[in-house]
A and B are shown apart, each in its own frame.
Chain A
């Protein structure tokens, strides 16, 4: 049976976005982080937002169940944002929860059912000790057939990294450069959990001096990254600074039907492509050095939008691990298979390079509150496309941008394409 080309039933526009600070916040739970994000969104709707206009809420959340011992969080978010009794739905696809919640919002508006939808994402992770978080994140893998092998979540990506290195000759140093780049972007983002590696080195030196401990002497950022004491192996070849941190945070985006967008702003951003795909557990995939679901989700989004990878000016991609960013830039067609690591090392993906990737600092530096990450990416493209990104504003005009959000090792991927007309 031939299938028709997928298209949205009607146009969808992004007219507001906001996020909480990402980091570790002992005194805030997920609903309070959500309020912080929503309050920023309210300020960012140019012509103002009447909460009574919002007709539905989608909430991306990975595991409030295990992190906060709380299920059924969507109505809690609606309640705390003053939006009861609108329809409120939680979406769970591990780390892709936010991106998939965005897609649900897009579909809901495109279908004609709703005109104004609030898409949110949130995760509260940092109160728990690291070993507990490790176990919870491992639950996003196949608990029956992957976990018994001893695989952790970093371990599965590390295994993909060894497959990638064996196939293409990349080195752990290539991955380290991706981390350095994202940390230098994050240093310019006031919402980011971590700043640059060089700032971190300075603070480590200062702390050592203060405590009268031996003062470390690193030549440069790469020297720090190669130092096993400063940057220990988590799952080889992934070291601490190849891994995104454990984070708390929330983000939200306001979607409306295109024909009413001007009621909210004179500078709407149009969502012109949306793709999503699923895949088997890692060991059952043909390729271990790429993410097939990302290739498919990307293709669907590109075809819907009628644009090519080369047309995309900036992208926020899912760099839960540095190898993930390298694969993403290939899966999305920005670089040929096997060239992503070299292109990153050569500076193509820097903020002032030809294909800026993760200008926000990415998950790596900005933080990775699992369910919030996919919506946090939207906040960055919203800011960059409207030239509101402050010191990290890219030096070029951004008529087209892309977000790429992956669940676990690629069991889910959601890709969206944004246009400023």
Chain B
């Protein structure tokens, strides 16, 4: 399967987190890339990621984009977004679950997290979003 954003999303819909691995220099990338920015190589393959890592940055969002307000989030019901560093090395942006978004002081950088998935939308527009659970 060609390395594209669409393929990444299809895999996500199947609850699989896949990055890319450069066969020339061994660099792993998430999001997956058809061209390795480290060495410039194009001999790149899919690689499965275990979905374990730690939270390296986060925020609790009270004024969200349409995507999130449609899911029921607002000032009274904030949500947490973050950046997770995977055990394999790459970092990724994701929704952070199982934290108390009303109490951000209690959320700590460095917290171990495990992959999860959030489904949103109905029918044709149903889509899976990458999440991690504290």
Contacts and interface: CB of A to CB of B under 8 A. Distances in A.
Interface residues of A, number: 39
Interface in A142-159: 142, 144-152, 154-156, 158-159
B59 A131 contact: no
Interface string B53-75: 00011111111111111000101
Interface in B81-121: 81-83, 90-95, 104, 108-110
Interface in A209-233: 232-233
Q: Is the interface of A mostly helix, strand, loop or mixed?
A: helix
Nearest to A137: B65
A150 B31 contact: no
B65 A150 contact: yes
B59 A145 contact: no
Contacts of A158: 59, 61
B60 A233 contact: yes
Interface residues of B, number: 37
A111 interface: no
B44 interface: no
Contact of B83 (A130, A144, A288): A288
Interface centre among A147, A148, A159, A235, by most chain B C-beta atoms within 10 angstroms, is A148
A166 B56 CA distance: 9
Shortest beta-carbon contacts, A-B, top 3: A158-B59, A166-B109, A149-B93
Given A163-B56, A232-B62, 20 more contacts: A131-B66, A134-B65, A138-B65, A144-B31, A145-B92, A149-B93, A149-B130, A150-B68, A152-B64, A152-B65, A158-B61, A163-B57, A163-B109, A166-B110, A235-B60, A235-B61, A236-B59, A236-B78, A280-B37, A283-B92
28 contacts: A134-B64, A142-B93, A144-B5, A144-B31, A145-B31, A145-B92, A147-B65, A148-B67, A149-B82, A149-B95, A149-B129, A151-B59, A152-B61, A152-B63, A152-B64, A152-B65, A156-B59, A159-B83, A160-B57, A162-B57, A163-B56, A232-B62, A232-B75, A236-B62, A283-B83, A283-B93, A284-B29, A288-B57
